[in-house]
Amino acid sequence: MSLGPSPSFSAGSAPPGSIKVMLVDDSAIVRGLVARILAEEPLITVAAQASNGEQAIATLARTPVDVVVLDIEMPVMDGITALPGILRAVPGIKVIMLSSLTQRGATFTFQALKAGAADYIPKPSASSDMSGTGSFKRELIDKIKSLAARRLRPPPPPAAPGLPARPAIPAPPPRPAAPTTATAPAMGAVEVLVIGSSTGGPQALFDIATKLKGVRPRIPILITQHMPPTFTGILAEHMASSSGLPAAEGKDGEKVEAGHIYIAPGGKHMLVEKRGADRFIKITDDPPENFCKPAVDPLFRSVSAAYGAKVMAIVLTGMGSDGGKGGAVIAKAGGLLYAQDEATCVVYGMPAAAAATGLCKAILPLPEIGTLIRKTVGG
């Protein structure tokens, strides 16, 4: 694919309060086109560019940034090798890997996520996407803003001298907060575990998977992680190796079995339907929900219909609100809804939507979620 001549671009000084981004790619054409896309967003400034990992680490010493968009395969020093040095150079920096939609690209991306990358974005396969007229632009800008939000969050302003500590008009009472600790449900109260996640989700899922090592689950586990095709297959392989349990992409028509982990395949929705006393996977090509395919809400709704009150649902880190409405369906049917707490989320979007329903049984840090799951699913 020809992308035309390399555009000229020079990084300017970042306006106060803007998100400072570094682009690292050995292709000057790609860097230029991505820079043009980001230049249309007033809250983002491309503060630096580099053609390889070694140059990126050296540049960070004099130009600190908030987010790095890092290519994986580059000469001199590739993205995987550079990643630890980038994370050391600027504590708290967020790195988005720029990955190809191939088996090799997916494998390298998961290596990067395990090594500390915050997220990834697939390289566009069409010139329209790279030129900023496709989904790549929206996804990249959304990821950069979401990942930088906590890093750039301003501290609360100090109280002005002489003003009362309380407002003159009392604020309405807040909705009662969900507990921050949880006990495992009684044996037999849960017949299926469903999990939804997005940005930061793979790392959270690996943490949970390690907690399942040595456990023989008495219930099935179904997961929707926002990911494209190929990537979900690699995710299943990592879940299998980390947990020691059978894990694979769900297949249309297969029976849901206890002790198995089912991953929604990229580009499709995964549902569950009841036939007699058994439940079966249903894979659909329905339109995206919440801009996502696979999406969490369709899985949650279908599991609620198939299992009634005997559902445990967990919403992990991720952008957007997917899982909130489906989680409410589960909770209103008598199931148990939990969300990851803000402090341990990479992006507190999806769990915040679940928490906002007021129906969560508890809001928990990630380590406690893994412990709760182990106690719940264990035979």
**If pLDDT is split at 50, 70 and 90, which confidence band does 208 have?**
very high
For residue 271, pLDDT beyond 50: yes
pLDDT at 113 over 70: yes
Q: Which residues pair with 378 in a beta bridge?
A: 217
Model's pTM, two decimal places?
0.87
pLDDT band at 298 (very low <50, low <70, confident <90, very high): very high
Are 57 and 89 in contact by the 8 Å Cβ rule? The answer is yes
Report how far residue 256's alpha carbon sits from residue 297's, in angstroms, rounded to the nearest whole number. 19
- Percent of the chain at pLDDT > 70 equals 85
Instruction: Find, among 51, 144, 38, the residue nearest to 94 by Cα.
Output: 144
Lowest-confidence segment of 9-18, 21-30, 236-245 by average pLDDT:
9-18
pLDDT above 90 as % of the chain: 77
Angle at 170 between CA 167 and CA 176, to 5 degrees: 120
Type of residue numbered 163: L
pLDDT over 90 at 356, yes or no: yes
User: Residue 149 in 3-state DSSP?
Assistant: helix
**Cα 15 versus chain centre, distance:** 29
Asked whether residue 264 carries a pLDDT value surpassing 70, the answer given is yes
pLDDT at residue 101 in the model: 81
Average pLDDT score over residue span 140-164: 68
**pLDDT band with cut points at 50, 70 and 90 for residue 233:** very high
Position 133 scores a pLDDT of 55
Residue 153: the pLDDT is 57
For residue 357, what pLDDT band results from cuts at 50, 70 and 90? very high
Q: Pick the residue with more confidence: 160 or 131? A: 131
Write down how long the chain is. Answer: 379
d(CA 157, CA 267): 44
Q: How confident is the model at residue 178 (pLDDT cuts 50, 70, 90)?
A: confident
Q: Which residues participate in catalysis according to the annotation?
A: 198, 226, 322
- Confidence grade of residue 17 (pLDDT, cut at 50, 70, 90): confident
| Listed range (67-76, 159-168, 174-183, 245-254) with the worst mean pLDDT | 159-168
CA 272, CA 263: separation in Å to the nearest integer? 12
- Say how far apart CA 109 and CA 231 lie, in whole Å: 9
Task: Tell me the average pLDDT across 317-340.
Answer: 97
State pLDDT tens for residues 23-53.
999 999 999 999 999 999 999 999 999 999 9
pLDDT tops 50 at residue 319: yes
pLDDT the model gives residue 329:
98
What pLDDT is attached to residue 10? 40
Residue 117 has pLDDT above 50, yes or no: yes
User: Which of 64, 66, 68 has the alpha carbon at shortest distance from 22?
Assistant: 68
Q: State yes or no: cis peptide before 5, omega within 30 of 0.
A: no
Which whole number is the average pLDDT over 185-211? Answer: 94
How many distinct helices (H) and strands (E) make up the chain?
Answer: 12, 14
Which stretches does DSSP call E strand in 161-294? 192-197, 221-225, 247-249, 261-263, 269-275, 278-284
pLDDT single digits (tens) 64-84: 899 999 999 999 999 999 999
Mean pLDDT estimate for the chain: 88
